[in-house]
Amino acid sequence: MSTIKEIRLIIFTFLAVIFTGAFTLMLPFATTKPISFIDALYTATSATCVTGLIVKDTPIDFTGFGQVVILFMIQIGGLGYMTIATFMAIMLRKKLSHRDQMILKTSLNYDTFSGVVRFLKNVFKMVLAIELIGAIILAVRFYMDMPFAKAIWYGIFHSVSFFNNAGFSLFSNSLMDYKFDIIVNFTATTLIIVGGIGYFVILELYYFRKKQLTRISTHTKLTITTTLALIAASLGLFLTLEWENTKSIGNFDVWQKIMTGYFYAINLRTAGANTIDISALSDSTLFLSTIFMVVGGGAGGTAGGIKVTTFAVIVIATIHAIKGHSQASVFKRTIPQTVVTQSLTMLIVASFYILMVTVLLSETQNAAFIKILYEVASAFGTVGVSTGNGGAESLSANFDDFGKFLITVMMIVGRIGVLAFTLVFIGKIEEKRYQYAEGRVII
């Protein structure tokens, strides 16, 4: 188990990256016009937390230097500062202490000390390879619409942004101009899915395919199964609710409806790009979307939220409880009660943060409740989709400094994890070494 000191160190270094990025974005040559500190902090947090919510139009308000800074923060945020720092130490032939390995294990959300350094090296190789492939495909496609050098830069930026589930785009209207483009849609959604299911899952599948593993772990099976189920469910709900909505997809043909629906469903997995006007969606779609955003993506990857495995454990435990079973199980494996308890705790704490911030914003900002809830869920899930401010920015651009600060905090909570964030304020982790006699409670 990770100690509170290690969790605090990871969080504080994460915050250090955010503030460094914010001050860098305030440099006169990083923006095309002066930017306030709260807007710079918001942007740096959104990039480092790989969210994608924006209060400034990325291609218009930031210079090439500012865009590079945002890209670096996305990459650092996706991999994790401690992961990158440790990798650099390994490259310099420095031996990792036990404490360094403990911090690395916590940062990567890796379940054991065994092979953690080798796992880190493989993660870097995998990330660079996937991002490079994505950049090449996107650059070739963008070259059909823009000069070669610009196409290369756009390919790199969007590949890194999509794989890290960041949602930032160099197009002011995100990917709305490519909503029916098969190449862009397929490449973007593939990068999003792969980046969002978690490094452990990707590498385990790779090792299994190479016959270096004899079986796939329960975690990987549960992550993949739940991810596919959530994508199918969100796609089905979106098409059902929006099929006749002429403001969104009602005027599209069948194939176009399916394509835009699929892209939207994938982006609810914490990615944040969009090919349609989110503000045109019905309130029912917006509300149900918040549930998928809060769930987020896979553990140990670039996604936020409570994670798909947490959601799956809660659902499985509930089904078993309804059936009267004393223990929950999946894939012929028993789920430890501690995991069930932790999952329920995570959901309750996350719900508290989301509802508290939503109410605060509803009382202090001039916006519809459902749109605020959607924005808060998007921030917590580090998704990045938004009903917008009527222009190219997110709804948060209409908030005052207090509102922007609350959304900034929610992005940090969602990326770091609700339990880790809460533990920083509660104090040390204590293991209870005694048990009281059972008491009768009627429910």
d(CA 269, CA 309): 13
What was the pLDDT predicted at 6? 65
> 3-class DSSP state for residue 153?
helix
Low-confidence ranges of the chain (pLDDT < 50): 1, 81-82, 85, 87-93, 96, 98-100, 102-108, 110, 112-113
Q: What is the pTM of this model?
A: 0.89
CA distances from 292 to 8, 113, 326, 378, 382 (A): 29, 32, 28, 10, 12
Amino acid, single-letter form, for residue 53: L
What digits encode the pLDDT tens for the residues 38-81?
Answer: 999 999 999 999 899 999 999 999 999 999 999 999 998 887 64
Burial label, 218 (beta-carbon count in 10 A; 0-12, 13-18, 19+): middle
Percentage of residues in the chain having pLDDT higher than 90: 61
What was the pLDDT predicted at 326? 84
Name every residue whose Cβ is closer than 8 Å to that of residue 427 and which is 6 or more positions away in sequence: 4
Strand-pair partners of 329: 334
d(CA 399, CA 361): 9
